[in-house]
Amino acid sequence: MIRHLGLKAYGKVNLGLDVLRKREDGYHEVRMIMQTVGLYDKIDIYLKETPGIEVVTNLYYLPVNENNLVYKAAKLLMEEFHILHGIRIHLNKFIPVSAGMAGGSSDAATVLFGVNKMFQLGLTREELMERGVKIGADVPYCLMRGTALSEGIGEILTPLPDMPQCQVLIAKPGVSVSTKFVYEHLDLPSLGQEDHPDIDGMIEAIGNRNIFQVSERLGNVLETVTIPEYPVIAQIKDKMKELGAVNALMSGSGPTVFGIFTSPRAAEMAYEELRYGEAKTLAKQVYLTNFYNTREVTNEQ
Ligand code: ATP
């Protein structure tokens, strides 16, 4: 049995996010282009001789009981496989919380992977995905990583070709957005065609490996709810474009904004400006990263 695993749980942005309809069971049917970014939470899993799941985290306001998605993920597998040992999970958060970057889902996906490996349960990635969707709609994607089309409620996944390399600037304003609030306030019948992103066009642009075509087609229907509520999101988008981003978009239900840069120098300067310059009042957290296309999960130690 493995006694310790050191893993990275990567965040995502949506290059495209469309909502097709609300299903009778309350879930929304989506069509999303998912893209992993290089920003990650660090997760260490330690084997304990005594039973039980213990969670330790660097963020005092996160739950450490069943309400934490890492706890849920561990419990799901450990109960199913009647595991008598216990584990301690050290969760070091760097991905902004309640930000539209699927941080919690990625943590859960990583713990599913880790518990499967630690106790040699022999589940395939697909089998982990089937269990993951019970924890959250984005968990299956977080087990797949890279560039992908996500449909249904998020469980129907099609891998897409890797995105060309570029710089990605991520900025989260000092507001937190509840995903539930955004979906509840999405008024699909009142929206025009221009509010919906061209997902098929985006798939084609990704196939062409053309970062400019991709940037042109960035679109997120949830901006129609979140931006009127928090105009600072539009201000950050405008600022990024003014500072040289080819384009910028809100990720998921927000409020995080990401900007795509093809010039490392411009990206660096935009980072400095949003982090330390006059624009620093717009965003509370700012990161300069890139698209992360490695699908394999590896144990670092
Ligand atoms: P998504 O992009 O999937 O909508 P998000 O970025 O909006 O996700 P998360 O940061 O994944 O949101 O989760 C936010 C909520 O989930 C918070 O209420 C937080 O208390 C709870 N939570 C539970 N477990 C975690 C975790 N491991 N990391 C972050 N938040 C967690």
Instruction: List the domain boundaries for the chain.
Output: 4-159, 167-290
Ligand 1 pocket test, pick from 62, 92, 93 with the greatest ligand atom count within 8 Å of Cβ, gives 62
> Would you say the C-alpha torsion 212, 164, 139, 154 has a positive or negative sign?
positive
ipTM for the whole complex: 0.94
Higher-scoring residue by pLDDT: 300, 259 = 259
CB 169 within 8 A of CB 271: yes
pLDDT for residue 9 is more than 70: yes
User: How many angstroms separate the CA atoms of 157 and 130, rounded?
Assistant: 12
Cβ–ligand 1 contact at 92 (below 6 Å): no
Q: Of 28-32, 174-178, 272-276, give the lowest mean pLDDT range.
A: 174-178
The CB of 154 under 6 Å from ligand 1? The reply is: no
Q: Do domains 4-159 and 167-290 have the same CATH topology?
A: no
Ligand 1 in reach of 57 Cβ (< 6 A): no
For residue 115, pLDDT beyond 90: yes
Q: Mean pLDDT throughout 238-243?
A: 98
Give the right CATH number for 4-159 from 3.40.50.720, 3.90.1310.10, 3.30.930.10, 3.30.230.10: 3.30.230.10
Q: What pLDDT does residue 300 have? A: 63
Residue 221 one-letter amino acid: V
**pLDDT at residue 298 above 80?**
no
Is 115 annotated as ligand-binding? no
In whole angstroms, how large is the CA radius of gyration of the chain? 19
Q: Report whether pLDDT(301) > 60.
A: no
251 is in an annotated binding site: no
Task: Name the residue of 69, 107, 112, 222 to mutate for ligand 1: max ligand atoms within 8 A of Cβ.
Answer: 69
Instruction: Give the number of other CB atoms < 10 A from CB of residue 200.
Output: 12
From the CA of 105, how far away is ligand 1's center (Å)? 7
Residue 277 annotated as binding? no
Assign domain 167-290 to its CATH architecture. 2-Layer Sandwich (3.30)
Of 5, 4, 6, 15, give the one whose Cα is nearest residue 259: 15
In this predicted structure, the answer to whether residue 182 has a pLDDT above a threshold of 80 is yes
Q: Above 50 in pLDDT, residue 198?
A: yes
The DSSP result for 8-77, as a single string, is: EEEEEEEEEEEEEEE-TTSPEEEEEEEEEEEEEEEEEEEEESS-EEEEEES-TTS--STTSHHHHHHHHH
